Structure 1
Amino acid sequence: MRRGTRYGALLGPLLAGGATPDLVTRAARGLGLPERGRYTVVVLGTPVPDAVVAEGPDVDGARWWWGSAEASPGSAEASPGSAEAREGGREVAVVLLGPAGAARAAARLRELGAGPGGVSPVVGSLAELGAARRLAGTALLTCAPGSREIVRLDERLPAALLVSRPELSTRLLAEVFGPLLTLVPAERSLLVETLEAWLECGGSVGRAAGRLGCHRNTVFNRLRRLERLTARSLSRPRELVDLVLALEVLRLSSAPP
């Protein structure tokens, strides 16, 4: 993994997006990278650990280049509240992938204690790094506050939609969970924890009760109360979608449930 002023100067314009073909060719030569290849971009929310930038390819043969990609304050992509504006200036890496692909790159960062971080989908050329950087930044925003998660965008698409439109996410949370949020924190947390357990157990009340260490009737009663408070039924697919998305917004909120 490599970093430094020279690498950053060559990567910066590519990561900013809109690079001309001549610039892409010049950067490819300067970095020793193929113009076409299997690339992913990583955006970290904390300083990169020293172990991550050790020289040479990793065990999978992937090659890493670290730089930065601050969005220009006057650019359209840096509009207030945008994912790009919130992500700008953080640690950014371009990875020429080995055979194991982006999943191995994410696993490598977890092994080295990096995070939180977002990993873009795989793109096929240096010219696509700007778009990949934006998607990696969006993936980073799906990490829960205070977490050390390394997540791939393709694993978090619903959450990515929510963080991309924060004003709609706020409205969704208020519309679906409004009455729930008026409860005292301990009571609210109990209902949220029960809903999470029920979802993680595939909608099984019995399995959720085992996970929570309570009687299945207790789980059933909590879920029925949550349905009354939200005016949504867990048995109606469209209303269940509302509840799941609102729960995701709550997870991403800096406030405890």
Structure 2
Amino acid sequence: MRRGTRYGVLLGPLLAGGAAPDLVTRAARGLGLPERGRYAVVVLGTPVPDAAVAEGPDVDGARWWWGAALGSPGAEVGSPGGAEDRAEGREVAVVLLGSAGPARAAARLRELGAGPGGVSPVVGSLAELGAARRLAGTALLTCEPGSREIVRLDERLPAALLVSRPELSTRLLAEVFGPLLTLVPAERSLLVETLEAWLECGGSVGRAAARLGCHRNTVFNRLRRLERLTARSLSRPRELVDLVLALDVLRLSSAPP
């Protein structure tokens, strides 16, 4: 993994997006990178650990280049208010992927104690790094506040849609969970925790009850109450989608459930 002013200067225009072909070629030569290859971009929400910038490739052959933090001069462009703009001031890396792909890159960051962080999908050239950087920044925004998660965008696509349109996310939360949000925090948390357990247990009331340490009738009654409060049924797929998406918005909110 490499880091330095020289790398940042060369990477900045690529990560900003829209670099002219001759600039991409010069950057590739300066960095010693192929113009075409399997690349991913990582955006971290905290300073990069020292161990992450050690020289040399990873065990699977991946090579890392750490550039300027997002929001630094020449390294950040985009439409105001977009998800990528809300990720300014973050650490960013370009990864020439090894044989194990982006999943191994994410695992490597977890091993180093980095996070929270987002990893972009694979792109096929240096010219696509700007788009990859924006997607990695969006993935970062799907991490729960205060967490140390390292997530790949492809694992968080529904949540990524939500964070990309915060005004719609706010509206969705109010429309679906409005009555639930009026409950006292302890009562609200109990219903939210039960819904989360039921979803994680594949819709099994019995398994959810075992996880929560209560009787299955207690889980059933809580879920029925949640259905009444939200006017949505867990047995109707479209209404269940509403509940799951609203739950994601609540999870990503800085306020506790």
Q: TM-score, normalised by structure 2?
A: 0.97
Q: Is contact 1:12-1:67 (8 Å) kept?
A: yes
After superposition, give the CA deviation of every residue in 1:6-44 in whole Å (9 maximum; x if it has no partner).
000000000000001000000000000000000000000
Q: What secondary structure, in the 3-state scheme, does the structure 1 residue paired with 2:12 have?
A: helix
Q: Is contact 1:42-1:117 (8 Å) kept?
A: yes
Q: Is contact 1:117-1:148 (8 Å) kept?
A: yes
After superposition, give the CA deviation of every residue in 1:183-210 in whole Å (9 maximum; x if it has no partner).
0000000000000000001101011000
How has the CA–CA distance of structure 1 residues 128 and 86 changed in structure 2, closer, same or farther, with 3 Å as cutoff?
Answer: same
How far, CA to CA, are the matches of 1:135 and 1:105 in structure 2?
16
The residue that corresponds to 1:177 in the other structure is 177
How has the CA–CA distance of structure 1 residues 3 and 77 changed in structure 2, closer, same or farther, with 3 Å as cutoff?
Answer: closer
After superposition, give the CA deviation of every residue in 1:161-204 in whole Å (9 maximum; x if it has no partner).
00000000000000000000000000000000000000001101
1:166 aligns with 2:166: yes
How has the CA–CA distance of structure 1 residues 236 and 74 changed in structure 2, closer, same or farther, with 3 Å as cutoff?
Answer: farther
Q: What secondary structure, in the 3-state scheme, does the structure 2 residue paired with 1:46 have?
A: coil
How far, CA to CA, are the matches of 1:70 and 1:145 in structure 2?
19
Q: What secondary structure, in the 3-state scheme, does the structure 1 residue paired with 2:95 have?
A: strand
Q: Is contact 2:7-2:67 (8 Å) kept?
A: yes
Give the superposition deviation at 1:87: 1.1
Q: Is contact 1:15-1:69 (8 Å) kept?
A: no
Q: Is contact 1:71-1:78 (8 Å) kept?
A: no
Task: Could you tell me which runs of 5 or more consecutive residues in structure 2 were left unpaired when the two chains were aligned.
Answer: none
Q: Is contact 1:209-1:219 (8 Å) kept?
A: yes
Q: Is contact 1:68-1:91 (8 Å) kept?
A: yes
Identity of aligned residues (%): 92
Q: Is contact 1:40-1:95 (8 Å) kept?
A: yes
Segments of 4+ in structure 1 off by > 6 A? 72-76
Give the superposition deviation at 1:81: 2.9
* Root mean square deviation, CA, Å: 1.6
Aligned length: 257
Q: Is contact 2:45-2:91 (8 Å) kept?
A: yes
The residue that corresponds to 1:236 in the other structure is 236
Give the superposition deviation at 1:70: 3.3
Q: Greater CA deviation, 138-147 or 83-92? A: 83-92
Q: Is contact 1:16-1:71 (8 Å) kept?
A: no
Q: Is contact 1:68-1:89 (8 Å) kept?
A: no
How far, CA to CA, are the matches of 1:189 and 1:208 in structure 2?
15
Q: Is contact 1:10-1:30 (8 Å) kept?
A: yes
